Structure 1
Amino acid sequence: MKHYKTPPEDIVPVVQKIAFGAGNLVNNLLPAALGVFMYFLVTAFGMNPFLAGLLAAIPRFMDALTDPIMGYISDNTVSRWGRRKPYIFIGAILSGILFMILWQLNPENSEMYNFYYFLIFALLFFIGNTIFSTPLIGLGYEMTTDYNERTRLMASSQIVGQLAWMIVPWFWYLIARPEIYPTEAEGVRSLSILVGATCIVLGILPAIFCREINQTNLESRSNLSFKELGSNLKSLIKGIKEISKNNPFMRLCGATFLVFNGFQTVASFSYFIIVYYMFKGSNADAGQWPAWFSTISAVVTAFLVIPIISWIASNWGKRRAFIIATFISIVGYIMKWWAFNPTNPWLILIPIPLMSFGIGGLFTLMMSMTADVCDLDELRNGIPRKEGTFGAVYWWMVKLGQALALAIGGAVLSLVGFNEEIAIQSVDTITKLRLADIIIPSVTALLAVWVMWNYNITEERAREIKKQLEEKRLSYNLKPKKDVN
């Protein structure tokens, strides 16, 4: 493969990479903490499991509607501060404050009071989070036009983002320690304030330090007003239709859906296998092993897997990097059969580096490739560019798949005969659970490789598209991309 040197003007400075990574850390920290705290909605605040399930599902349905709308608004905004950064700044503050308020529940309140309190503030929180996260993703796609620098930018942001997954697994341990928090409810309330404040501080950094493209070069944007609401809706639908016809992008969405949600379906199975197979149903004996398993996975992903994936992508291409990483992860999944061993718990650490290639490589590569796809869309459909809409559609698909994965995971637990009320599960149940833990993510990973096999935006083609875009922009009096001062 012929390699090209990244032009100096396309290199993203380290400060901007760290700032964008801080935003990605917030994007990981909020849902990770939310997932842990939702468990305590039942145990610490006495919420009926059915009502807790509704509280998990209803805001996400609204989230699925607001993501594309926010992407469209971000793509078409005109302001002196840019089209992404004002929303990132405001959204970070809203997200942090609303996350704190969301968890100031009291178990002494009636169940329905807590239900409606949580529902209202969860809806508001997800709106605030959409205002933050959707423009942030669009910003990342436009921070550089270079094929390889895009991978380096996404790799650095994913490394920083993995810090969330190193920290959050320990929330379970901290909340349950009576010497730290008198009650679980107090632990949730206190930690939510810490999480929210952290997200405000880190979330505003991309708005302060990251660059956007020069707005004077962005023409043909819609007029965002209530008067033009009908035409804006038509334009949004038209943009989504154009995106749905973009074959490379649909391949990225399909592969992500398969890899991520195959992983998500069995994500909780490792915890059950560690506790009920390796430690015979004793949470006390299992101790910190589940937390260490998650934390070490995140450490390996951040400091080993992502740098290797970035190197492979820069030297052999992003499609090949994805295929290699996915096959390595399958080997890791298969090794779990021998590594999860009741006689030697330390063996569970062996497959972690291999399994981590699946998720570690996924979002690093897919976000980089989505930026390439945005160039292809501009070449085919003209301006305005739709980074925000592309990002919203992509992450809408991820969120939808995640909801399905959680439902499927619960169904699998039921089908294998798992009974959470007993400590000692049957040999048949444990065997089926262990097989599902290996087979489901392995099969979905193989299907993802099949989906990506004919993905055709190589480095050479990406640079050809970039050259054609520069010529096309000159033809309608657009200058090359510049920084916002």
Structure 2
Amino acid sequence: MKKEVTPLPDRVPIGQKLSFGAGHLVLNLLPGSLGIFMFFLLTAFGMDPFLAGLLGGLPRIFDAITDPIMGFISDNTNSRFGRRRPYIFVGAILSGILFAVLWQLDPDNSQNYNFWYFLILSMVFLIGNTMFATPLIGLGYEMTSDYNERTRLMAFSQILGQIAWMIVPWFWVIIASPDMLPITAEETARIAQLGLGTEEAAKMTLQSLQANGVRKLSVIVGLICIVLGLLPAIFCRGIDSARMENRKKITLKTLFSNIKDLGEGIKQVSKSKPFVKLCGATFLVFNGFQLVASFSFFIIVFYMFNGDYAAAGNWPAWFSTITAVVTAFLVIPIISWMSDRWGKRTAFVVSTFISIIGYILKWWGFDPDNPWLIFMPIPFMAFGLGGLFTLMMSMTADVCDLDELENGMPRKEGTFGAIYWWMVKLGQALALVLGGLVLKLVGFNQDAITQTADTMTNLRIADILIPSITAGIAIVVMWKYSLNEERAKEIKTELVKRRGKL
């Protein structure tokens, strides 16, 4: 069935798509880098796995609290630069600087000192990141009012966002490479003066090399995020907020009334049945995947190569990079096509089911006798996250229209985006904590050179079952999702009659 052509005024110019996509590259690069660097809390800075899990999870709970506040502020901001762009501009700068500062740890410090340093700085960093991320998500919801153009915009942004995942896996290689980010001669001499045995000296040298790599690479990542993060603030355009009614004043004098208004807005958002389904499905798919995200690395190193990092070489990096390439250039275009032909709900159900097949294939793909088989599940697995955010963000934009129809002005893209990512981050916090707990339960020993056969079998089972089960439940949640293209167009027509075209 041929779809209608998107009217020219509803199309997003390619320059704005590129700028919005650059912002999404930052949105992926920061958590991707954080996920890689968190591993080195264990090996480079000697952090206990459970404490490392807490450091990954607790700040996200704090972050989840600040998101709705930032969403409310950006929804009700009145400036000549728009509702979102000033915060994106400042947030991009703060995010880059604070990310670099966060990782200036020293392995010679006590575990207690590093724990509190990282915990406190994580919360400060996440405030800056919230200033960037929440308005950026809200801006994307309002860049077009066309049902299908929304999916194309989100698909484009997700493709550029996947570039981060093509780069990030190689951080493993860069951090541990003595040629790329070498330690200083003074540090080498200091280790030599300790009079350690060969094995102990080698271990300490590796630890110093990894710590040095994390510190230097975090600065590079921070600078990249500042440059790319400023682009959507400069070039992207949302709806004309000058004609938007009923916005709240945001001052110190109105603080208590603002809190009441925020609560009312959250209450209205939470009553949207289509939106609740989107949040529930996202919580399940993304965080089921996130809980086991690091397990593939451990399985490749400790199961396929028996703990030999040198033999494992670049296989973990290639696994993640190929996944990102397939997601960006194969899967996301297919999902966009499916959405255009079959509708967003059907596209989500089909893509999520295909991802479950991929998770199951990992049992045969991680073969010590044939490492090339690790690429076999990728084209199937990639449909999971590839379809998730492309479709869910587009569907959330449709829900914003429904909310305006039911609850009036002001439009609440920021609040919807904040609550949506609140669910993501709350689940991510839980996943990071539970990920460390699962490693403990299966018997993973971070200090051991090799792991037991039972440990690796249990880890492989968890790596498959957890995301498969959560994805299956998500399909059930979305099975009767009702906000389809026909209904979305009816809503858009009614809104234009009511308040004109923004």
TM bucket (normalised to shorter chain) is: over 0.9
- Give the match for residue 13 of structure 2: 13
Superposition deviation, residue 281 in structure 1: 2.5
- Give the match for residue 105 of structure 2: 105
- Structure 2: distance between partners of 1:48 and 1:432: 21
- Structure 1: distance between partners of 2:4 and 2:366: 45
Q: Which whole-Å deviations, capped at 9, do the CAs of 1:389-430 have from their partners, x for residues lacking one?
A: 000001011011112122333333333344444455444433
**Amino acid in the other structure paired with 1:407:** V
- Give the match for residue 413 of structure 1: 439
Superposition deviation, residue 114 in structure 1: 4.3
Superposition deviation, residue 81 in structure 1: 0.5
- Structure 2: distance between partners of 1:407 and 1:97: 26
- Give the match for residue 476 of structure 1: none
- Structure 1: distance between partners of 2:436 and 2:118: 24
- 62 and 192 in structure 1: CA distance in 2 versus 1, 3 angstrom threshold: same
- 44 and 422 in structure 1: CA distance in 2 versus 1, 3 angstrom threshold: closer
**Amino acid in the other structure paired with 2:243:** N
Superposition deviation, residue 58 in structure 1: 3.8
The aligned length equals 476
- 407 and 103 in structure 1: CA distance in 2 versus 1, 3 angstrom threshold: closer
- Give the match for residue 32 of structure 1: 32
Match of 2:405 among 350, 358, 379: 379
- Structure 2: distance between partners of 1:254 and 1:160: 26
- Give the match for residue 501 of structure 2: 480
Q: Which whole-Å deviations, capped at 9, do the CAs of 1:270-312 have from their partners, x for residues lacking one?
A: 2222222222232221111111111110111011100110011
The yes-or-no answer on 1:161 pairing with 2:161 is yes
Alignment of 1:63-102 (within 5 A): 63-102=63-102
Alignment of 1:27-426 (within 5 A): 27-47=27-47, 52-109=52-109, 113-180=113-180, 181-182=182-183, 183-426=209-452
Contact 2:56 2:429 in 1 (8 A): no
The gaps in structure 1 that reach 5 residues or longer are: 474-478
**Amino acid in the other structure paired with 1:26:** V
Q: Which secondary structure state, in structure 2, belongs to the residue aligned with residue 126 of structure 1? A: helix
Please say which of residues 366-375 and 39-48 is displaced more in the overlay.
39-48
Q: Which secondary structure state, in structure 1, belongs to the residue aligned with residue 253 of structure 2? A: helix
Contact 2:42 2:446 in 1 (8 A): no
- 102 and 410 in structure 1: CA distance in 2 versus 1, 3 angstrom threshold: closer
Q: Give percent identity, aligned residues only.
A: 68
Match of 1:444 among 450, 470, 479: 470
Contact 2:56 2:432 in 1 (8 A): no
Please say which of residues 118-127 and 210-219 is displaced more in the overlay.
118-127
Q: Which whole-Å deviations, capped at 9, do the CAs of 1:62-121 have from their partners, x for residues lacking one?
A: 212110000000000000110100000111011111122222334445555544543443
Q: Which secondary structure state, in structure 1, belongs to the residue aligned with residue 254 of structure 2? A: helix
- Give the match for residue 202 of structure 2: none
- Structure 1: distance between partners of 2:49 and 2:445: 16
Superposition deviation, residue 46 in structure 1: 4.6
Superposition deviation, residue 4 in structure 1: 2.0
Please say which of residues 175-184 and 207-216 is displaced more in the overlay.
175-184
Contact 2:302 2:451 in 1 (8 A): yes
- Give the match for residue 463 of structure 1: 489
- 353 and 239 in structure 1: CA distance in 2 versus 1, 3 angstrom threshold: same
- Structure 2: distance between partners of 1:102 and 1:418: 27
Q: Which secondary structure state, in structure 2, belongs to the residue aligned with residue 204 of structure 1? A: helix
- Structure 2: distance between partners of 1:418 and 1:43: 14
Q: What is the TM-score with the length of structure 1 in the denominator?
A: 0.94
Superposition deviation, residue 122 in structure 1: 2.4
- Structure 1: distance between partners of 2:471 and 2:51: 34
